[in-house]
C-alpha cells in the first residue's frame, strides 16, 4: 500500500512522518503533483490551504486516485461529485479529521434535539486556532453549527500555535451547558486522515463519489 501526500505543512508533514513505509510521494510547491505520479499511489491525502485547492484539484480528479481532503476555506464546486464519479474515484472531505470529533457530532445532535424543551436557549460556538490559519471561522466551527441546526453566534480567535479548540455553549436564564473539544497534538488529524485513506482503499462497500468524514465514520461503525 502506498499513500501519497499533497501539502507538507504542519499537519501534512505529520502525515508524512506517520505513514513511514506506506508513504508514496510527498508533494509540495517545489514538487507539484502530476497525474502520472499520483497514479502510482493507492490513495492520496491532501492538506493544502483553501486558496491552494484550485492548483491541485483537477490533477487529483484526473488521476482517479482515492483522496482524503483536509482542506478548509474552499467552496467545493456543485458538480464535484459527478466529476469524481466519472473517474470512478472515491473522495472523503473533512473539516476536521479527528475521530473523536464524531463523538462530538453525536453529542451536538442530542443537545440540539433536547434544547426543544428549554426556555429561550441561546447558542454560542467559539473556536481558537494558531495565528497562521487563514480561514475564520474554522471549517470545524461551521460543521458544529450545521450539526446543531440552530441559530448560533460563531466567534473566532487566533493565538500562538493552538492546534484547535472548539466550544459550544448553551445558555438559558437559569443554566449553562458547555461542550468542548481540544486538540492536543496534530497527530490526531494525521491519524484520522490515514484511517480514512485506508478505508477508501480497503473497504469495497464505499461507493464512488464524495462522502464526508462523518458519513464514512458512520458507515464503518455500522458495518462492524
Can you give the pLDDT at residue 210? 97
What's the average model confidence in pLDDT over 124-145?
Answer: 94
CATH classification of the domain holding 158: 3.30.360.10
pLDDT mean across residues, the chain: 95
Indicate the helix (H) or strand (E) that contains 23: strand 23-27
Backbone angles phi, psi at 222, to 5 degrees: -65, -30
Q: Which residues of 6-23 are buried (b: 16+ CB within 10 A; e: fewer)?
A: bbbebbbbbbbeebeeeb
- Asked if 93 and 13 sit in the same domain, the reply is yes
- Asked if 8 and 71 sit in the same domain, the reply is yes
- Asked if 163 and 198 sit in the same domain, the reply is no
Can you give the pLDDT at residue 44? 98
d(CA 33, CA 152): 40
Q: Give 197-219 pLDDT, tens digit per residue.
A: 999 999 999 999 999 999 999 99
- Asked if 84 and 147 sit in the same domain, the reply is no
- Asked if 8 and 90 sit in the same domain, the reply is yes
Quote the number of domains for the chain: 2
Backbone angles phi, psi at 114, to 5 degrees: -70, -25
- Asked if 81 and 158 sit in the same domain, the reply is no
Residue 108 CA from chain centroid, whole number: 17
- Asked if 197 and 163 sit in the same domain, the reply is no
- Asked if 10 and 93 sit in the same domain, the reply is yes
What's the average model confidence in pLDDT over 76-85?
Answer: 96
- Asked if 93 and 105 sit in the same domain, the reply is no
- Asked if 87 and 193 sit in the same domain, the reply is yes
Residues 40, 41, 43, CA angle at the centre, nearest 5°?
150
Rounded to two decimals, what is the model's pTM?
0.83
- Asked if 193 and 145 sit in the same domain, the reply is no
Residue 155 CA from chain centroid, whole number: 20
Can you give the pLDDT at residue 224? 78
Q: Give 149-203 pLDDT, tens digit per residue.
A: 999 999 999 999 999 999 999 999 999 999 999 999 989 999 999 999 999 999 9
Task: Report the share of the chain in percent with pLDDT over 90.
Answer: 92
Domain extent at residue 145: 101-182
For the packed helices 101-114 and 213-223, what is the interaxial angle rounded to 10 degrees? 100
Nearest to 213 by CA among 70, 44, 23: 70
- Asked if 20 and 88 sit in the same domain, the reply is yes
Amino acid at each position: 500500500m502506498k499513500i501519497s501526500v499533497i501539502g507538507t505543512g504542519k499537519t501534512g508533514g505529520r502525515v508524512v512522518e506517520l505513514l513511514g513505509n506506506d508513504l508514496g510521494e510527498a508533494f509540495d510547491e517545489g514538487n507539484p503533483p502530476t497525474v502520472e505520479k499520483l497514479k502510482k499511489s493507492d490513495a492520496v491525502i491532501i492538506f493544502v490551504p483553501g486558496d491552494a485547492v484550485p492548483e491541485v484539484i483537477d490533477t487529483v480528479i484526473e488521476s482517479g486516485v482515492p483522496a482524503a481532503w483536509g482542506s478548509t476555506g474552499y467552496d467545493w464546486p456543485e458538480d464535484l461529485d459527478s466529476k469524481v464519479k466519472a473517474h470512478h474515484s472515491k473522495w472523503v472531505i473533512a473539516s476536521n479529521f479527528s475521530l473523536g470529533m464524531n463523538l462530538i457530532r453525536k453529542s451536538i445532535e442530542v443537545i440540539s434535539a433536547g434544547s426543544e424543551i428549554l426556555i429561550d436557549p441561546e447558542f454560542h460556538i467559539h473556536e481558537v486556532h494558531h495565528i497562521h490559519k487563514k480561514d475564520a471561522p474554522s471549517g470545524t466551527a461551521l460543521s458544529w453549527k450545521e450539526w446543531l441546526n440552530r441559530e448560533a453566534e460563531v466567534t473566532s480567535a487566533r493565538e500562538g500555535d493552538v492546534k484547535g479548540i472548539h466550544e459550544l455553549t448553551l445558555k438559558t436564564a437559569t443554566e449553562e451547558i458547555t461542550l468542548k473539544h481540544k486538540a492536543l497534538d496534530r497527530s490526531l488529524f494525521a491519524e484520522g486522515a490515514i484511517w480514512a485513506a485506508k478505508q477508501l482503499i480497503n473497504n469495497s462497500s464505499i461507493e464512488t463519489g464524495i462522502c464526508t468524514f462523518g458519513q464514512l465514520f458512520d458507515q464503518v461503525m455500522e458495518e462492524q
